[in-house]
Amino acid sequence: MAITPIKDRLQKAYRAAVWEVDVASKPRFRAILILAARILHAVAHEIAVGQLNLRAMSLVYTTLLSLVPLLALSFSVLKAFGVYGQLEPMLLEFLAPLGPSAKVITTNILAFVDNMKVGILGAIGLGMLLYTVIALMQKIERSFNYTWHVRYQRRFTERVSDYLSVLVFGPVLVFSAMGITATVMKSSIVQSLLGISTLSFLINSVLVLVPYLFVIAAFTVLYIIIPNTKVRVVPALIGAIVGGILWESSGWAFASFVANSTKYTAIYSALATLIVFMIWLYLSWLILLVGAVVAFYVQNPGYLSPQQHDLRLSNILKEKLALGAMFLIGKHFYEKRAGWTLDALAQQFRIQADVMRTVLELMEQNEMVVSTNDEPPVYMPAMPLDSTRIKDVLDTVRAGNREAQKPFEHVSVAPEIKGLFKELDTVVGDYLKDKTLKELVTTGNKTEPKAAQ
């Protein structure tokens, strides 16, 4: 019985130490520790109740379908650069945590790739293989966009060009970096330095860090390029450091697990290799997505809260945000200034972008605003300002999604309640007296909000 009070006290102390603290008023080192604790809480919440697990599992399935054509496309480019012989060592390095199964899987994958003949596949077969590669890249982008709270994807032409650029030039850059590193380490200067005891220890220590540095560099590039939003270098690097350390460390732990799981081989027989391979793919994707989540929260600390997924707005807050957004959108449109984006409006109101998105989507569904095809979209008035009544904006928010409300249109309430709401609506209508958005924009507060970019 005494466990519950202790648990409550610990939770209360945790909230007081982590969440009920003004980070700006704390020393820099302590502020960093508090932010790190908040990010750790948010990442744990994403893994426990979010979609990271489901998306990692989905990527495993898509990877199994597209792995051979993906490698075939990359290998064909690498053959032109004369580095085909390095492919097998790289695959063995990636699959090293699988233990003895790494050699078997690598041999089979390379055999599948070598057997891929364009003439045998034909145009339709080649098209299907390319489609599976594009589908994998698209699913990766969707997973990254989910972590960054981005709901719109690249245009189809941009998607194809960006994906092919990554698939063609990515392997070339990776192998070039590996080749340069190997050449430097074999040079006579480095070999002579290895003969000096003090420098030898330093160089060997750097060699231990080289795999981490390669993984961190690769993760950083992915976190910057893949999401369909602007990711700053520092948050991407911090997320890559976390992801890279987790990935390399989990490789050691997974190798130990495989070495001590002989009983699973006895149970699953020939399927054991495939099962172990799928588990390692799942862990790899999960770690990559965890690093992306860390990068997101580092760049957007405003999303850090104990209830970051519980976006339940009060009606009065929805009304304020809707009318405030219409005022800014209408004002910039009337004055022929740059339009407002979702992020710009969220920054203006100092709220999370997801909260602002909820209001804007509601207004767009009810034809109060329209979004352009720009990336990111810019919001414009859907009707002339002189025919957009302020009361209509408030009614839009109060009515909510019309399609979702249809099943409840005939809800039965007492006549007295109906009369009360009708009287309230009449009072509001009489007070506003058909006042339009144009009147609010032209006679409102003259203080200029910061221009949206």
Q: What is the pLDDT along the chain (453 residues), one digit of tens a residue?
A: 455 678 778 878 877 787 877 777 788 888 888 888 888 888 888 888 778 888 888 888 888 877 777 777 666 666 666 555 666 777 777 777 777 777 777 787 777 766 665 555 556 666 776 777 777 888 888 889 888 888 777 777 777 777 767 766 666 666 666 555 555 556 566 566 556 666 666 666 666 677 778 888 888 988 998 888 888 999 999 999 999 889 888 877 877 777 666 666 666 666 777 788 888 889 989 999 999 999 999 988 877 876 555 556 777 888 888 888 989 998 898 888 888 988 888 888 878 777 888 888 888 888 888 988 877 788 999 888 888 888 888 888 877 666 656 655 666 777 777 778 778 778 877 777 778 888 888 875 444 455 444
Which of the 8 DSSP states describes residue 300?
-
3, part of any domain: no
Q: Which residues make beta-bridge pairs with 369?
A: 381
Alpha helix ranges (H) inside 226-307:
233-259, 262-268, 271-299
42, part of any domain: no
Domain co-membership, 214 together with 335: no
CATH number at residue 368: 1.10.10.10
| Domain count along the chain | 2
Domain co-membership, 159 together with 280: yes
Domain termination residue (choose one: 240, 272, 302): 302
How far CA 1 is from CA of 7, 9, 14, in Å, comes to 11, 14, 21
Domain co-membership, 350 together with 227: no
**pTM recorded for the entire structure:** 0.71
How far CA 121 is from CA of 125, 128, 299, in Å, comes to 5, 10, 46
Domain co-membership, 297 together with 379: no
34, part of any domain: no
Domain co-membership, 87 together with 219: yes
Instruction: Count helices and strands (H / E) in the chain.
Output: 19, 3
2, part of any domain: no
Domain co-membership, 263 together with 358: no
1, part of any domain: no
Question: Can you give the residue range of the structural domain that contains 351?
Answer: 315-443
Domain co-membership, 357 together with 380: yes
Amino acid, res. 156: F
Domain co-membership, 428 together with 378: yes
344, part of any domain: yes
Domain termination residue (choose one: 270, 302, 334): 302
7, part of any domain: no
Rounded to 10 degrees, what is the CA torsion of 334, 337, 338, 339? -10
322, part of any domain: yes
Domain co-membership, 274 together with 375: no
State the first-to-last Cα distance of the chain, in angstroms, to the nearest integer: 57
